[in-house]
Amino acid sequence: MAEAVEILRKLLDGEEVSFAGEHYRLPRVQTMRSRQDRVPLLVGVNGRQALAHAAGHADIIGFTMLGRTLEDGQRHEVRWQPDRLDATIAYFRQQAGNRWPRLELNALVQAVVVSNDRREAAQDAAARVPALRVDDALVTPFLALGTHDQIAEHLLACREQWGISYFSVRDIAEFAPVIERLRRVDAQL
């Protein structure tokens, strides 16, 4: 991943790239310069080494806070406790140094569950996800649970607490009403 990020950043910046690494070999490749000053590069990573590298190259850092793949080969260990996210963002911020103020934080929302009972939705999530506590399910930026208004309020709280301003979701249809609510809030600011 580190090689790909370095190559992409240079190409997106309009530089000519010659590269001979472990995974990529490029002999004098160049793309057309973008019409915008800098094409933002989103890098989704886990792990300290990848975070440190992304801190030097990415414009947007994508967090999932997923750990190792579980025995079923499909699910992952989750690390959605608030203190773990605090520590991860603090580490990333330290690694980013003077780039920090220009960076954007992204969370990949693993599930959007529209429900009139937010706590029940959190209990269901905790029952399905190994080692996830209900209290963590209610505060993690990686789950969007409750009514559309509650989800919008939750994401605003995540923006306030962690600085996450960019949320990616897997099902936009369920999430579209939340976007409208967030736009209204932003218009009032």
146: alpha, beta or left, given left = phi > 0 and alpha = psi -120 to 50? left
CB atoms within 10 A of CB 65: 20
pLDDT at 126: 96
**Domain at 40-188: CATH architecture:** Alpha-Beta Barrel (3.20)
**CB 31, CB 13: distance < 8 Å:** no
pLDDT at 33: 67
**Burial bucket for residue 92 (CB in 10 Å: 0-12, 13-18, 19+):** buried
Mean pLDDT per 10-residue interval, the chain, length 189 residues: 78 79 81 73 87 92 82 80 95 95 95 97 94 96 97 96 94 91 82
Instruction: Report d(CA 161, CA 34) in Å as an integer.
Output: 34
pLDDT at 121: 98
pLDDT at 30: 74
pLDDT at 34: 64
Q: How far, CA to CA in Å, does 7 sit from each of 10, 30, 123, 182?
A: 5, 10, 43, 35
Whether this model's pTM surpasses 0.75: yes
Helix residue spans in 58-189 (DSSP H)? 82-96, 118-128, 134-139, 148-162, 172-188
Instruction: Report d(CA 137, CA 26) in Å as an integer.
Output: 44
Per the listing, tokens 């472990």 go with 22
Provide the residue ranges of all domains of the chain, joining segments of one domain with +: 1-39, 40-188
